[in-house]
Amino acid sequence: MKSLFISLTALFLLALQAQAAITGQQYCNRYMCVTGQHDSDKNLDTYTLQPPSGTNIPVSQFGWIAIGFGNTMINTPMVIAWPNSDGSITLSQRKTNNHVTPIVDSNPPRKATLLTSSSFSNFSTTSISFTLPSNSSAANSTNLIWAYGNKNPGSSSSSTSSLAQHLASGNTQISLLANSLPNTTTTSGNGTSSTSNSPISAGGSSKKVLIAHVACGGVATMAILPIGILVPRISRGLTMQRWWFPVHGALNGLTAFGLIVAAFGIARANFSGGFSSTHRKLGLTLFILSIIQTLLGILTHWWQPKHRLQTKSGRGPVNLLHMILGLVVVGIGFGTVWWGLDEEWERYSGSGKPNVGWKVGWGLVVGITALAYLGGFYFLPRQLRMEKERRQWASNVSNGNGHPTSKFIPTTSNNSSLPLPPPPPPTHTRPLQTPQTAVNTNTNTSTGYVPPPPPRRLPPRI
> Domain boundaries in the chain?
22-174, 207-395
Give the torsion through C-alpha atoms of 171, 172, 175, 179, to 10 deg: -130
DSSP letters along 100-150, please? S--EE-SS-SS--EE-TTT-EE-SS-EEEEEEEEPPSS--S-EEEEEEEES
Examine the pLDDT at 42 and tell me if it is beyond 50. yes
Helix (H) or strand (E) holding 68: strand 64-68
Pair 120, 126: CB distance under 8 Å: yes
**CB burial of residue 429 (10 Å; 0-12, 13-18, 19+):** exposed
The CATH code of domain 207-395 reads: 1.20.120
* Mean of pLDDT values over 201-209: 55
Q: What is the pLDDT of residues 128-150, one digit of tens each?
A: 999 999 876 556 678 899 998 88
CATH of 22-174, one of 3.90.650.10, 3.40.190.10, 1.10.10.10, 2.60.40.1210: 2.60.40.1210
pLDDT of residue 1: 54
Q: What is the pLDDT of residues 410-445, one digit of tens each?
A: 544 444 444 444 444 444 444 445 455 444 444 444
How far is it, in rounded angstroms, from Cα 125 to Cα 54? 10
Predicted TM-score (pTM) of this structure: 0.52
How far is it, in rounded angstroms, from Cα 168 to Cα 275? 22
pLDDT of residue 6: 58
Residue type, 173: Q
SS3 assignment, position 249: helix
Q: What is the pLDDT of residues 63-84, one digit of tens each?
A: 899 999 988 888 899 999 999 9
* Mean of pLDDT values over 406-413: 48
Pair 266, 212: CB distance under 8 Å: yes
Pair 230, 369: CB distance under 8 Å: yes
The mean of the pLDDT values for the chain is 77
pLDDT of residue 261: 96
Instruction: Give the range among 74-78, 215-219, 231-235, 308-312 with minimum mean pLDDT.
Output: 308-312
> 16-20: which pairs have CB atoms within 8 A and are 24 or more residues apart?
18/194, 19/194, 19/196, 20/179
Q: What is the pLDDT of residues 349-361, one digit of tens each?
A: 766 678 889 999 9
How far is it, in rounded angstroms, from Cα 204 to Cα 186? 22
Instruction: Give the range among 21-35, 280-294, 297-311 with minimum mean pLDDT.
Output: 297-311
